[in-house]
């Protein structure tokens, strides 16, 4: 799933009338919450309900996430149906799809290769006018940036967060990040932040990811370029928010959007201080981010807004 609230079975089974009344945005949020609590069937069902709304505005990412939920729920047919819809809606991240462990169960299905070929053909048509050498370079960087990180959950589950295997993985990730940063900073210094018209959404997202995974001086240097890219529509505002929050946290200042967590004295994950926390969800909603309580559940936290 693009990673990248506990939904009780009784709630899911008894909520038919409630689902019919909810708008697609609410249903997508419930789908995301159900995915986070590993109730993949409920997640897929919420996506199904969202599709039935007369004014539903689902993106290629929503269809892709629905496919992930149904794949994890064991319904390959629905997963492939949603992958087809994602392709038609403009999903372009072939590298992520190939690496996404949510879809691993589909790899041996006879429908996997035809689906992949159809997606790659659609992407090739979309990219016909792209800067192909630059796009290929960014695709390679994205695959290496995410490759190690996508192993994290499996290694943590098998060996533990503080195991030698996890230490080795982080050394591998750090070495890869250093190589990628050299390539991206050279690009930014000579070319500027690339436009979506020349590298697509994932191309500009890749540049953000590499800068986000760097250090404070690097983020401070390139944040103005990222801000300009977001203002002209070449970087998602939510991505800029994550970059800004990380920069503020490392500067010792309160964050704006609540995207950054840190370990406390007891090693427990907590949110870094949030400026005007009472209105953080309003700021998040304005740029398409989910409520902070839902975001918190991805990290196993039970967040309650101030005063509630």
**pLDDT of 178-198, one tens digit each?**
999 999 999 999 999 999 999
Q: How much is the pLDDT for 23? A: 80
Amino acid 196: pLDDT: 94
Q: Whole-angstrom Cα distance, residue 113 to residue 107?
A: 8
> Is 5 within a domain?
yes
100 located within any domain: yes
Residue 222 lies in a domain: no
Residue 53 has a pLDDT of 80
Residue with tokens 């409920």: 42
Here the tokens at position 247 are 């920069």
Domain membership of residue 9 (yes or no) is yes
The sign of the torsion formed by the CA atoms of 150, 154, 155, 160 equals positive
Q: What is the pLDDT of residue 5?
A: 29
Taking alpha carbons only, the member of 52, 80, 222, 275 closest to residue 260 is: 275
What's the domain range around 110? 1-128
Q: Which pLDDT does position 19 carry in this prediction?
A: 36
Q: CA dist 249 to 173, 243, 245, 258, 295, Å?
A: 22, 10, 6, 10, 18
Number of domains in the chain: 1
Q: What b/e sequence results for 61-97 when a residue is b if at least 16 CB atoms lie within 10 Å of its CB, and e otherwise?
A: bbbbbbbbbbbbbebbebbbebbbbbbeeebbbbbbb
Q: Which residues of the chain have pLDDT under 50?
A: 3-21
| Domain membership flag for residue 300 | no
- The whole-number pLDDT of residue 1 equals 63
What CATH code is carried by the domain that includes residue 34? Answer: 1.25.40
* Amino acid 71: pLDDT: 98
CA atoms of 274 and 262, how far apart (whole Å): 12
**Helix 216-231, helix 237-250: angle, nearest 10:** 150
Query: Is residue 153 in a domain?
Result: no
The pLDDT of residue 263: 87
Can you give the pTM of this predicted structure? 0.76
**pLDDT (0 to 100) of residue 260:** 96
Q: Which residues partner with 270 through β-bridges?
A: 262
Decide if 24 is inside a domain.
yes
User: Is residue 82, in this structure, part of any structural domain at all?
Assistant: yes
């Amino acid at each position: 799933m693009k990673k990248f609230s506990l939904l009780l079975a009784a709630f899911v089974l008894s909520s038919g009338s409630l689902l019919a009344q909810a708008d697609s945005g609410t249903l997508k949020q419930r789908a995301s919450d159900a995915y986070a609590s590993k109730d993949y069937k409920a997640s897929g069902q919420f996506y199904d309900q969202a599709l039935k709304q007369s004014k539903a505005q689902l993106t290629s990412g929503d269809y892709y996430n629905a496919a992930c939920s149904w794949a994890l729920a064991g319904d390959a047919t629905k997963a492939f149906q949603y992958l087809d819809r994602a392709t038609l809606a403009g999903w372009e991240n072939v590298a992520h799809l190939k690496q996404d462990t949510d879809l691993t169960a589909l790899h041996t299905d006879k429908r996997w290769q035809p689906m992949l070929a159809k997606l790659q053909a659609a992407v090739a048509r979309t990219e016909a006018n792209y800067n192909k050498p630059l796009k290929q370079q960014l695709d390679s960087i994205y695959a290496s940036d995410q490759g190690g990180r996508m192993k994290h959950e499996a290694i943590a589950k098998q060996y533990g967060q503080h195991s030698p295997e996890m230490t080795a993985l982080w050394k591998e990730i750090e070495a890869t990040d250093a190589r990628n940063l050299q390539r991206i900073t050279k690009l930014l210094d000579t070319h500027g932040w690339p436009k979506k018209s020349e590298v697509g959404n994932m191309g500009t997202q890749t540049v953000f990811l590499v800068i986000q995974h760097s250090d404070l001086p690097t983020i401070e240097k390139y944040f103005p370029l990222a801000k300009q890219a977001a203002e002209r529509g070449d970087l998602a505002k939510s991505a800029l928010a994550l970059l800004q929050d990380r920069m503020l946290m490392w500067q010792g200042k309160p964050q704006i959007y609540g995207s950054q967590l840190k370990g406390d004295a007891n090693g427990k994950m907590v949110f870094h201080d949030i400026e005007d926390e009472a209105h953080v969800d309003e700021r998040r909603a304005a740029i398409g981010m989910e409520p902070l309580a839902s975001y918190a559940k991805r990290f196993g936290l039970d967040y309650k807004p101030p005063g509630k």
